[in-house]
């Protein structure tokens, strides 16, 4: 059973370009979470999605950032017109609705560098 997969693992973008980060949850998991880890800072929650629904986007910046988790395919975190401050590691986690633990499993992350 493959774990949470993220690609690309490393992404370099110039200021003003778009970044697309992909996350494939563990098999059987229908809940996806995105977190961001800025240099020298802790992990910060961004958004929580179920298939075709955004459940909690309280951590998402209001502009330039969007996320989706379509019925088919991976979850996508999209950053438009990237700026240097977007340089960070972006982690995806997944969970199943079948309890009792609802443990979150993390992917290896995508390291975004904006030049």
Partner 1 sequence: KQEVTQIPAALSVPEGENLVLNCSFTDSAIYNLQWFRQDPGKGLTSLLLIQSSQREQTSGRLNASLDKSSGRSTLYIAASQPGDSATYLCGPRGSTLGRLYFGRGTQLTVWP
Binding site for partner 1 (CB under 8 A): 4, 31, 33, 35, 41-45, 48, 55-56, 59, 91, 93, 95, 97, 99-109, 111
CB of 103 to partner 1, least distance (A): 5
Determine phi and psi for 106, rounding to 5 degrees.
-100, 150
CB of 101 to partner 1, least distance (A): 5
Q: Which is nearer to partner 1, 4 or 19 (CB)?
A: 4
Residue 76 per-residue DSSP state: E
Q: Which run of H or of E encompasses 113?
A: strand 110-114
Beta strands in 1-109 (DSSP E): 5-7, 10-13, 19-24, 31-37, 43-50, 53-56, 65-68, 75-79, 88-95, 105-106
Q: Which is nearer to partner 1, 109 or 114 (CB)?
A: 109
Q: Which is nearer to partner 1, 17 or 50 (CB)?
A: 50
CB of 37 to partner 1, least distance (A): 9
Q: How far apart are CA 100 and CA 47, in angstroms?
A: 22
Q: Which is nearer to partner 1, 81 or 97 (CB)?
A: 97
């Amino acid at each position: 059973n493959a774990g949470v997969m993220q690609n690309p693992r490393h992404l370099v973008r110039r200021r003003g370009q778009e970044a697309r980060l992909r996350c494939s949850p563990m098999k059987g998991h229908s809940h996806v979470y995105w977190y961001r880890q800025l240099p020298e800072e802790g992990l910060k929650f961004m958004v929580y999605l179920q298939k075709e629904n955004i459940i909690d986007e309280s951590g998402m910046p209001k502009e330039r950032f969007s996320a989706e988790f379509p019925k088919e395919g991976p979850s996508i975190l999209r950053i438009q017109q990237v700026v240097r401050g977007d340089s960070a590691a972006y982690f995806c986690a997944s969970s199943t609705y079948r309890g009792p633990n609802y443990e979150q499993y993390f992917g290896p992350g995508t390291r975004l560098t904006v030049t």
